[in-house]
Structure 1
Amino acid sequence: MKILKINNEQFKADKIIKNQTDILGQNLNGNEVFAFRGISDFAGFTVIKEDGEGCDFDTLEPTIADLQTQIFKLTTQLINGGAL
């Protein structure tokens, strides 16, 4: 379990995912338990473990569709003689 701290408030989740503009909290089943969207400044957000030790944000795992798209692009590039 991780804790997101912002403005003296705490939000708990099993995963706390940060991308370019959002922070999402998810439980073990991948269900969203909280979300902060459209963030332009992440300075006030910190993530800690339940024991108070600092930790990193999680990253969003790519979907099967994302991976298929990457494979298609790389295959097309190779077929056309391009280097990776």
Structure 2
Amino acid sequence: MLELSREEKNRLINEIQGFFYDERGEEIGIIAGESVLDFFLEELGSLIYNKALDDSKLWFSNKLENIEIDYDLLYQNINSKR
């Protein structure tokens, strides 16, 4: 499971409490907010983490392709006549 600092966790719990109040008109306490956060971290944490890895792999792959093209452009044509 994704580990969060105490500050990150508190901020997210506050966001969850605000969401419930704004969207549902419900006031939930810190314990309920923490339960919701834990549920989503447990259920979605790995999925989001893996998606981020897939996205970064694609980004790096594109960057490496560009580097390879740039590298190939450095070659001088040795078959050309002067």
- Fold conserved (TM > 0.5)? no
Larger radius of gyration: 2
- Greater helix percent: which structure? 2
Q: Larger RCO: Structure 1 or Structure 2 (Cα < 8 Å, ≥ 6 residues apart)?
A: 2
Q: TM-score, normalised by structure 1?
A: 0.31
Q: TM-score, normalised by structure 2?
A: 0.32
